[in-house]
Amino acid sequence: MNSTAISPVKGNRKLLRKLEEQKVDVQSCYQCGRCSSGCPVAEFFDLKTMEVVRLAAYGMEEPLLASNTIWLCAACDTCATRCPNDINITRLMDILRELALRKGVVPAQPRIPQFHLSFLESVKRWGRTYEIGMLGAYKIRSGDLMGDMKLGMSMFSKGKLSLFPHSIDGKSDIKEIFEGKGKEYER
């Protein structure tokens, strides 16, 4: 972790209220470290999982939204499962990612939100992912036009990537989810 001083005085009370509304009880963390020690990608984080929870408990939004941890978190739920206080850390990471996007914070790992947005656009449009369309949108966003081309060709030749999108039943239900998207995060 960097040397950011943690102080409740500097805390963002809006963030604290938001976490309370979303039933992410960061205040009950007693820093046992079980979340951090079970995280499969912890070695790549700039903030440990337990540090994310502690910073959130103090409403320290700025270092949280600037961290690479919120983007590298794989949402595997191991930390939340291991937490003796049932703190929904996966939900916390989700809230922080959405907040970073809404506030236009420059992401520490830009390609991850680029992929995230390309994926969501595809689901919004087709009700499920249309891989080739999603990859095209991601490549345009990231500017990495030729990266992973060999892998893509190999997947295509094995029939893993369909040229045309598949639609699904219940697309209107998916649309409703997107229409409500983000209301809970409005500041």
Binding site residues, ligand SF4, CB under 6 A: 29-35, 39, 41, 49-50, 53, 73-79, 82-85, 87, 89-90, 93
Q: Closest separation between CB of residue 95 and ligand SF4, Å?
A: 13
Q: How far is the CB of 74 from ligand SF4 (least distance, A)?
A: 4
Supply the minimum distance, in Å, between the C-beta of residue 19 and ligand SF4: 13
Q: How many separate helices (H) and strands (E) can be counted in the chain? A: 11, 0
Q: For residues 29-65, b (16+ Cβ closer than 10 Å) or e, as one string?
A: beeeebbbeebeebeebebbbbbbbbbbbbbbbebbb
> How many angstroms separate the CA atoms of 162 and 23, rounded?
40
Closer Cβ to ligand SF4, 88 or 114, answer by number: 88
Residue 18 Cβ vs ligand SF4, minimum distance, rounded to whole Å? 18
Looking at beta carbons only, is 50 or 137 nearer to ligand SF4? 50
- CB-nearer residue toward ligand SF4: 81 or 167: 81
